[in-house]
Chains A and B, each alone.
Chain A
Amino acid sequence: DAGVIQSPRHEVTEMGQEVTLRCKPISGHDYLFWYRQTMMRGLELLIYFNNNVPIDDSGMPEDRFSAKMPNASFSTLKIQPSEPRDSAVYFCASSLDRARETQYFGPGTRLLVL
C-alpha cells in the first residue's frame, strides 16, 4: 500500500490567503484524523472523521479552519483566511474501524504563512 498521501508537502503563502491541504487515507481505512504540530503546542488533534462523517472537531482552533471528507479516499483541511500563527506541520492519519488499531501518519504538510 502507498500509505497515507498528503499534498502539498510544503506551502508558503501570505497572510489572508486561502490554504487547502489534501489527504488520501490508506485504502479500506474508515477513520481519518487531522493533527497539527507546532513548537508551542506539540502534536494535537484538530478533527477526525469516521466513514466520511466528522465526529469530533473540538480541536479546530477557530472558524477560519474547516475540514471535509467528500468520499472515503479524500479529505481537505482549509484555512481561510490564513494567519502567521497557522504556520505549522499538518499531519493526516488513518486507521481501520476497529477498536485498538494503529494510526498511520502521512508525511505532513509544512505550512508557512508570511
Chain B
Amino acid sequence: GIQVEQSPPDLILQEGANSTLRCNFSDSVNNLQWFHQNPWGQLINLFYIPSGTKQNGRLSATTVATERYSLLYISSSQTTDSGVYFCAVEGMDTGRRALTFGSGTRLQVQP
C-alpha cells in the first residue's frame, strides 16, 4: 500500500516562530488532508489539498503532486497550535476510499 512519511517527528518552537512540516508519499493520490490533533484528541481538518496551494489564516499548505510531497506552514505560532499534525492520503490506484495516515509531527509551542 501507499507509504506516508512525515518529518520532523517532533518540533519545539517559541511562540511567534514559523515552522514547516513535511509529508512525503510513495504514490499518486486522490486525496491529501492535513489534520491537527489537539490535546483533547480531536482530529481537526486543516486542509484538503491533493495539489496546489491553500491558505487559511496563519496556516498554509502546498502539495506538489508530481514530486509526491506536501508542506504545511505555520506562521507566528501560538501555544494553541500545540498538538500533533497528521498528513493522510488516499492512493489513486488502489480504488480504495481510505486514508493512510503518517505517524505525525508532534509540535510544542512554548510561551
List A residues at the B interface (Cβ < 8 Å): 31, 33, 35, 42-45, 48, 50, 55-56, 59, 89, 91, 93, 95, 99-105, 107-108, 110
- In the docked arrangement, what's the CA distance between A37 and B93, Å? 25
Q: Which residues of A contact B72 (CB under 8 A)?
A: none
Tell me whether B96 and A100 are in contact (CB under 8 A).
no
Stretch of B16-24, B43-51, B54-62 with 4 or more beta carbons under 8 angstroms from chain A: B43-51
- Given A89-B41, A108-B41, A108-B42, check contact A102 B98 (CB 8 Å): no
Residues of A within 8 A of B97 (CB): 31, 33, 48, 50, 55-56, 95
Between A and B, 14 residue pairs with Cβ closer than 8 Å are A33-B97, A33-B98, A42-B101, A42-B103, A42-B104, A45-B98, A45-B99, A101-B48, A102-B31, A102-B45, A104-B45, A105-B42, A105-B45, A107-B42
Number of A-B contacts (CB under 8 A): 52
Q: Is the CB of A56 within 8 A of B96?
A: yes
Q: Tell me whether chain A's interface is mostly helix, strand or loop, or mixed.
A: strand
Residue of B nearest to A49 (CB): B97
Known: A42-B102, A45-B99, A55-B97. 16 other contacts (CB 8 A): A33-B97, A43-B101, A44-B101, A45-B98, A48-B97, A56-B98, A89-B41, A99-B30, A100-B50, A102-B31, A102-B33, A103-B99, A104-B45, A107-B42, A108-B43, A110-B41
**Which chain B residue lies CB-closest to A97?**
B97
User: What is the CA–CA distance of A33 and B100 in the complex, to the nearest angstrom?
Assistant: 12
Which of A44, A59, A99, A105 gathers the greatest number of chain B CB atoms within 10 Å? A105
Q: Nearest Cβ distance between residue B4 and chain A, in whole angstroms?
A: 10
Q: In the assembled complex, which residues on chain B have CB atoms less than 8 Å from the CB atom of A89?
A: 41
Chain B proximity of A93: nearest CB distance (Å): 8
